[in-house]
Structure 1
Amino acid sequence: MDIAEPLLAAHRARFAAVDALLPPAAPPADGERLDAATAGGTQVTGVLQRQRFAPGDVPMLWSAADTWQLFPYFGDTGTEGADLLLRALKGRLEAEDTGDDSACVVVWPSRDAEAIRAFLDHGLVPLSAVGVRTAPPPEASPGVSVRRAGPGDFDAALKLATATFDYTGLVASPRRDNTAELLAPSLRDALAEEEPAAWLAEADGELRAFAHCAWLDAVPGTEAGELLPPGRWGYVNNVVTAPGERGGGFGRALMAHVHRELHRGGATRTYLYYNPTNPLSSVFWHRQGYRPLWTTWEVRPASALR
């Protein structure tokens, strides 16, 4: 989609100024265009995309079934420009019959405080964030045994992985009834790989924590390249400590091992998604050296946008 070159240049300059770790801002997305103008006559533009998911689609683990995602381009107009585009989105949605399982979503650089003001004013909340870690791997934690997980661990690993959503369903996206079924295929594939990126922490013969990870190459022009600076990254997909064991140091010991293993596989940096509204993970991951890069702002249902 074409956007005026001065606005696109201002958009890219904004990203570069807000956070030096952001990759160059991606070209405009395809979708429906929303336009507005500031009091001073500066044009701002948004691109609107709609995604619909079926009950068996994996994105249902974290997404509403009917999602309206806004890609804003407001350059140096700050809070005013963001506010105008969200007002335009609200006006657009008044013509739609949005159901209960719907959402308005904006993914935006976490450090852009001017935009945050507009998001809060319109009823959006920070339900998810991409956290990045650039520090070297930590030393091993004594007293906890960590090993690679294999096919024989599938049932135990799935039970632990599902437990993540039992908790996050209270503080972030609602838990789906078919969560285990949605998780199972990718987890089974990961455990069957010759060099799986999945680990289990054990103590006294009992499984205490589980981590499902991967390696990923961020290349310009790809989805990962729009999210992260170029290079080989470790992706921390799902980490959970067994209920009743949280706070005992098992997650910390597991991740010390995992960070070393991901580094050994060529990843000098790692990233993950976490919920800022989660009182456990929002503290745990910051202590592990992660900081937010992108934040997903969301309001459910879509009709609740102010």
Structure 2
Amino acid sequence: MHSDVIASEHATRLAAVDPLLPGSSPFESTENAVVLDVDLGDSAATGRASRVQVDRDAPNAPWRALTEHRLDLQLAGPQPAAALDALLTRWDEHLRAVAEPGDTETAAVLPRASRDAAGTREMLHHGFAPLRVVAVRPADRMIPEGPRGTPGVKIRRAEPGDLDTAVALGMELHSFDAQYGTVNLRSGVEDILAKDLAEQLNRPEPPLWIAELYGRALGMVNVQHPGETGWISDRVKAGRVGYLSSLAVAEAARSSGVGTALSAHAHQVLDEEGTDVVLLHHAAANPLSTPFWYAQGYRPLWTYWQRRPAVR
């Protein structure tokens, strides 16, 4: 089956299950990626296999394996699950040739449209687990809602003097999420986080807000405004895309309304900028963040399946 046909059928199938998914173009081999194809008569699959490697002290290292093998895929025909199964087998052959078996700092990552259920069983059989979700919240541009009042909670823009508080909240969040395999607790993580937060707090208008509960700083929310989200905006069919980088609430303040107040404030800020959608990442298995975010109006858009190590 020709690559143009596969890309077109794949885009049509995904558009039918989720109108916020972007379109698809045929894959091409590049210096850093190869295209893998399988053909099962009237069904077919194609994948672009790539590898990204980062240094241990890189800004994005805490959120990924140091060597990440990724497969972007397209499925076509009446048997997409069987085509995916064959493609995963083909990718496994490729990985055995390029990845070190048993290396826990390697990961095989496969993003799937969350509402595309075809091949889920096959992915489980190949040892993949749904680890991370990109969730989407369409903005209410016609009637923006203000933050809900929470007794005792005051929200203010963060300033450089909040660095220690921001780092402590960020590390508490990072440590909690590490239980679910979405982030890594390596040496140097706190320094990487502190450097990033210091840069943001030194901006003329820091994109962070602090929540104080009866005078104590117990929560923080961090956003990226439209114009800063080019790295992820192509994952959604929308014009102006905002991104909610993180929301952290100290354990002592959970279930107090601090998180809800911070979320509402962030959405009001982004809605007032004319944002069409807001995206965020969350750990699929986190029993606190998953129901919290969906109560705030989010839903799954992309699910990132992972196997770590890439080759067992």
Q: Same fold (TM over 0.5)?
A: yes
**What's the TM-score, normalizing by structure 2?**
0.89
Map of 2:192 onto structure 1: 182
CA distance in structure 1 between the aligned counterparts of 2:223 and 2:76, rounded to whole angstroms: 36
State yes or no: 1:70 paired with 2:89. Answer: no
Match for residue 216 of structure 1 among 212, 217, 226: 226
Equivalent position SS for 1:46: strand
Match for residue 128 of structure 1 among 128, 132, 151: 132
Map of 1:287 onto structure 2: 295
State the Cα RMSD in Å: 2.0
State yes or no: 1:28 paired with 2:30. Answer: no
Give the 3 Å change call, closer, same or farther, for CA 273–208 of structure 1 in structure 2.
Answer: same
CA distance in structure 2 between the aligned counterparts of 1:36 and 1:27, rounded to whole angstroms: 14
CA distance in structure 2 between the aligned counterparts of 1:43 and 1:257, rounded to whole angstroms: 46
Map of 2:202 onto structure 1: 192
CA distance in structure 2 between the aligned counterparts of 1:154 and 1:261, rounded to whole angstroms: 22
Greater mean deviation of Cα atoms: 56-65 or 145-154 = 56-65
Give the 3 Å change call, closer, same or farther, for CA 223–22 of structure 1 in structure 2.
Answer: same
Greater mean deviation of Cα atoms: 23-32 or 105-114 = 23-32
CA distance in structure 2 between the aligned counterparts of 1:170 and 1:81, rounded to whole angstroms: 33
The sequence identity of aligned pairs, in percent, is 32
Map of 1:146 onto structure 2: 155
Equivalent position SS for 1:237: strand
Greater mean deviation of Cα atoms: 126-135 or 222-231 = 222-231
Indicate conservation of the 8 Å contact 1:217/1:224, yes or no: no
Map of 2:306 onto structure 1: 298
Map of 2:11 onto structure 1: 12
Indicate conservation of the 8 Å contact 2:6/2:74, yes or no: yes
CA distance in structure 2 between the aligned counterparts of 1:90 and 1:55, rounded to whole angstroms: 26
CA distance in structure 2 between the aligned counterparts of 1:5 and 1:285, rounded to whole angstroms: 37
State the AA in 2 paired with 1:175. L
State the AA in 2 paired with 1:119. M
Give the 3 Å change call, closer, same or farther, for CA 241–105 of structure 1 in structure 2.
Answer: same
Unaligned runs of 5+ in 1: none
Map of 2:107 onto structure 1: 103
In the alignment of these two chains, the number of paired residues is 299
Unaligned runs of 5+ in 2: none
Equivalent position SS for 1:35: strand
Map of 1:53 onto structure 2: 54
Q: How far did 1:189 drift?
A: 1.9
State the AA in 1 paired with 2:159. G
State yes or no: 1:163 paired with 2:172. Answer: yes
Map of 1:94 onto structure 2: 96
State the AA in 2 paired with 1:288. Q
